[in-house]
Amino acid sequence: MASILPSHLLHHHHLRCSALAAIPNRFFYLTLSSSSRTKSAFSASQNEFASLGDLEFEAPLKIAKYPDPKLRKKNKRIGTFDDNLKKLVDEMFDVMYETDGIGLSAPQVGINVQLMVFNPVGERGEGEEIVLVNPRVGKRSLNRTIYNEGCLSFPGIRGDVKRPEYVKIDALDVKGKRFSVSLSGLPARIFQHEFDHLQGILFFERMADEVFDSIRGQLQALEIEYEEMTGFPSPEKIESRRTRKVPSGFGKS
Ligand SMILES: CSCC[C@H](NC=O)C(=O)N[C@@H](C)C(=O)N[C@@H](CO)C(=O)O
Ligand SMILES: [Fe+2]
């Protein structure tokens, strides 16, 4: 079974012998085939770099729930590859596993920078831990698939989302080394979900209108919970939203 990333780019090398091999039908890691119909989708660059203060965090990390405004803030690029960044990555994996996640973006833990982690197996010590810093999307397939997604910032809420099946990306690893990789199947799905978080886009905005309507009440319940917890009015009101704001897929392009 091919690995998602070359071995030297895996977060923990001991995870290289992937448990994915045990469930071969669930994941497909392919490079883009020449027959794939693709279009270029490089996103607009976000040029502002994070300061050391922007990368300060307190462990254990907590996941920001909708409609926390941190989920909508601009996420700065990372230019410092130090021990603090490695610790942040470790803490992100910790909270991701503890909350039964398979992916997590930095804004979801209140750190507004271009960083995501994922492991499609979702179990510590199994599968592959992937860390992407300042990711950019190259080509994506026109072919789209539907998957019933959940988001750690929307506990208990799920909905079908249509997204491209393949994406080609480039990013930096936790040491600042640039690499490119083509993803498909669940890794491509997770990447696109997390990449959206880095653009301030939330999964319900990718849902077809009827799917969105089916979770409207649950979103409103989260808004009420936020108001009760913080004493502030919800910064967004699902009640007044009629149709989705962004097209199906990922990113703002
Ligand atoms: C399909 S992309 C979902 C990524 C998401 N990460 C950030 O919000 C995430 O981890 N969501 C979880 C609810 C999730 O998908 N968990 C797995 C394993 O429990 C699931 O299949 O529900
Ligand atoms: Fe999410």
Statement: residue 18 has pLDDT above 90: no
**Ligand 1 atom 12, closest CA:** 101
251 or 21, higher pLDDT: 251
Per cent of the chain over pLDDT 90 is 75
Binning pLDDT at 50, 70 and 90, where does residue 4 land? confident
Residue 80 lies in a domain: yes
Mean pLDDT of the chain: 85
* Residue 252 counted as domain residue: no
Q: State whether the beta carbon of 190 lies less than 6 angstroms from ligand 1.
A: yes
Structural domain includes residue 242: no
Distance in Å, CA 119 to ligand 1 centroid: 10
The answer to whether residue 96 scores a pLDDT higher than 70 is: yes
For residue 126, the enclosing domain spans 7-233
Atom of ligand 1 nearest to the CA of 103: 6
Our answer on whether the CB atom of 104 is closer than 6 Å to any ligand 1 atom is yes
The number of domains in the chain is: 1
pLDDT of residue 13: 40
Q: Which ligand is nearest to the CA of 163?
A: 1
pLDDT at 26: 28
- Whether residue 202 is contained in a domain is answered as yes
Which residues have a catalytic role annotated?
A: 194
Å from CA of 34 to ligand 1 middle: 31
State residue 75's pLDDT score.
Answer: 98
Report the residue among 61, 66, 152 best suited for mutation to probe ligand 1: largest number of ligand atoms under 8 A from its CB.
152
CATH of the domain at 126: 3.90.45.10
Decide if 2 is inside a domain. Answer: no
Q: 9 falls in which pLDDT band (50, 70, 90)? A: low
**Residue 112 Cα to ligand 2 middle (Å):** 14
Prediction ipTM score: 0.99
Mean pLDDT to the nearest integer, 197-210: 98
pLDDT confidence of residue 251: 61
Question: Whose alpha carbon is nearest atom 19 of ligand 1?
Answer: 100
**8 — pLDDT class (breaks 50, 70, 90):** low
Strands 144-150 and 115-118: unpaired
Q: Rounded to an integer, what distance in angstroms lies between the CA atom of residue 225 and that of residue 229?
A: 6
123 is written with which tokens?
């179990």
pLDDT tens figures, 105-121: 999 999 999 999 999 99
Give 66 Cα–ligand 2 centroid separation in angstroms: 10
